[in-house]
Amino acid sequence: METFKYFAFALLFFCCLSLDAQQKNIELLSPNGKIKVSVDLKDRINYSVSNDGNLLFNQDLQLQLRNETLGKKPKLSAQSRTTVNEDVKPAVPFKFSTVKNHYNALTLRFSGNWSVEFRAFDDGVAYRIVTAKKGEIEVMHEDVNLSFPDDYLLHLQYAGKTRGFAAVYEELYSHISSKEWNAADSMMAVLPLLIDTRKGDKILFSETDINDYPNLFFKGKGKDNGISSALPPSPLKMEVDTVGNIWITERADYIAKTVGNRTFPWRWFIIGNDRLLLESPMAARLAPPCALQDVSWIKPGQAFWDYINRSTDYGPLVTYRQGINTPTFKRYIDFAGKNNIPYLLIDAAWAKDHSAAPELEVVPDLDLPEIIRYGKSKNVAIVLWMFYHPIQRDLLDDSYNLFEYYSKMGVAGFKVDFMDRSDQWIVNFYEQAAREAAKYRMILEFHGSYKPTGLEYKYPNILSYEGVRGLEYGGGTTPENSIYLPFIRNVVGPMSFTPGSMLNTQPEHLRTGWGYNWATIGTRVHQMAYFIMFESGLQMIADSPRRFEENPDCSDFIFSVPVVWDETRALAAEVGQYAIVAKRRDNRWWIGGITNNAERRREIDLTLDFLPEGKTFDMLVFEDGPNANGQAMDYNIRSIKVKKDDRINVRLARNGGFAARIE
């Protein structure tokens, strides 16, 4: 991540404070003065956050170590303040090629060699704990306990009834009152969490820059009206079963054993309206700096994905039995090459045993070196699905290295799957795998993963994560749930949703037992809009070549959509109802919009105020057809001339969409 500072350290001072001064409230304002952090130091550290004078929440803050609790009867020794206004340029720009990073900071230093840093932005706040202890420390717990002044609406994703800390972040969203989320509820929730104050402000809560430390989970506090933190204990012993699954057999009584001189994760809150959630680059601002000197080899792009398509292709070019074999993948490579799709992702079952060692034995019908050679001849690079356990084993065993072996073969990267945990040990695996992959110039997508936490900025060869209920669930993925993704999951980082279905239905028409005909809920244009709306550095193409060949107008549009962006503008948004964004790459703009299962067709007027002055543009529009409320495949195409400040009317069918390109 390259950083350019316009100015920094506008104000910096240190002062020793008396005991009386410690009892007083310490305040930090955002640059525009609207958001305020008020820190109260008495028997504990408690801070509150308000916006335009309205209290949003307060939090007790402390870190429990083995032999001391940081934050209990804190003794303030000094404080410092800074103002930073800089431009940050991510190596892989998921939302903006230049991120504005303007904030006021307050650092409170306490006796016992530790401190808390707060940052106040115009669109939110963040804090982290910093320790300067010698040697190792054992962290027993971190208290992140929020209290709300009113009954808020929480949009959250449970960890799952039986999974506990082994969450895969793929549950449907739940929507509950903060006072009704009972502490006795056995299910925890994961981050990110969207909080609706019901008075205009939305608060998105998540975390960034996690290293050598577990992810946060939460439980409700019932009538006490708030949420309290839970963190997975660190594993002590693990066993591998006969199919390669790793099971924890003994856990520590601490959540992390780590170095004492370190920063802890950023806890951050985006504060604002629905449209701001779609635009905020908070995760990029707080991410660690890029660890790679050369990022020129990292090429984000679309990827043709074989997993759902292995038996759905048909037509005169399919003269072979489909499956995991050389003719099938050559057909996919031909299709990808013809449409300038830079990657083919070969998913699970290409090896006889994905947990075997050292190299994996390829199934007999697949000539993997030939597929890699053939792909290169068509400018299509191969990415392989990989179970995480053999990678983890090799990271601990210097005698063999899967990254080295497959990079020499010509493989471009791995889709690493089934981590399915969020503890300190697995967090370290993510970084070790990313670092090792970068040595061999290999890209990664983490599947079976937790949500992004900023590692993709430190190691930009990480192009995407799962941690989302994507289209692989088929009828279990609905627009009613997916409409929340732009406001929650995709705000924190790239996600592998696997869009692109060309067989589209309304929910009442979806039937099981269709054999190999994979269908999804939502209109055709709803699916097309996902490519604009959802951010991923490795954006999957999730239907068969034949289906795309039968729909050249739609497929040509989809394959033209970039996966990285110079600019993002929210045009219209209401959480849980609809979202419309405009995104720019170079001198082209794309507009994407999606909505839920509303009974009536929505009509939304948009102003094209983001276009440059004095030019006329061609706008290609895909919109739901007049019968799309029942026949989801119905769509219209039109071309119009537009200029800055023109108004257009967007009509969205139920579970519908809107997609346009302006050039």
Average pLDDT of every residue of the chain: 93
- DSSP secondary structure letter of residue 401: -
Rounded to whole angstroms, how far apart are CA atoms 499 and 495? 11
Average pLDDT over residues 483-493: 98
Instruction: Give DSSP secondary structure letters for 323-377.
Output: SSSHHHHHHHHHHHHHTT--EEEE-TTSBS-TT-SSSPPBPTT--HHHHHHHHHH
- DSSP secondary structure letter of residue 72: B
Residue 10 has pLDDT above 90, yes or no: no
Residue 13 has pLDDT above 50, yes or no: no
CB atoms within 10 A of CB 181: 22
- DSSP secondary structure letter of residue 652: E
Handedness of CA 161, 163, 165, 170 (dihedral sign): negative
In this predicted model, which residue has the larger pLDDT, 23 or 416? 416
Query: What pLDDT score was predicted for residue 19?
Result: 40
CATH 2.70.98.10 residue spans of the chain: 2-272
What pTM value is reported for the model?
0.95
Of the chain, the percentage scoring pLDDT greater than 70 comes to 94
Quickly tell me which residue has 């109260």 as its tokens. 40
Query: What pLDDT score was predicted for residue 244?
Result: 62
The encoded tokens of residue 450 equal 């937790």
Of the chain, the percentage scoring pLDDT greater than 90 comes to 86
- 116, exposed or middle or buried, with CB in 10 Å at 0-12, 13-18, 19+? buried
One-letter amino acid of 370: E
Rounded to whole angstroms, how far apart are CA atoms 597 and 479? 7
Query: What pLDDT score was predicted for residue 356?
Result: 72
Residues in the chain: 663
Q: What is the pLDDT of residues 458-477, one digit of tens each?
A: 999 999 999 999 999 989 99
Rounded to whole angstroms, how far apart are CA atoms 190 and 360? 34
Rounded to whole angstroms, how far apart are CA atoms 231 and 220? 14
Architecture of the domain delimited by 301-481+498-524+535-559:
Alpha-Beta Barrel (3.20)
Name 583's bridge partners: 568, 590
Q: What is the pLDDT of residues 542-587, one digit of tens each?
A: 999 999 999 999 999 999 999 999 999 999 999 999 999 999 999 9
| Selection from 24, 7, 6 nearest residue 15 by Cα | 24
Average pLDDT over residues 23-40: 92
Query: Kind and range of the H or E element at 505?
Result: strand 504-505
- Which residues are part of the catalytic machinery? 417, 472
Task: From residue 436, give the alpha-carbon distance in Å to each of 194, 204, 407, 493, 588.
Answer: 34, 33, 11, 22, 36
Query: What pLDDT score was predicted for residue 161?
Result: 78
CATH 3.20.20.70 residue spans of the chain: 301-481+498-524+535-559
Architecture of the domain delimited by 2-272:
Distorted Sandwich (2.70)
Query: What pLDDT score was predicted for residue 392?
Result: 86
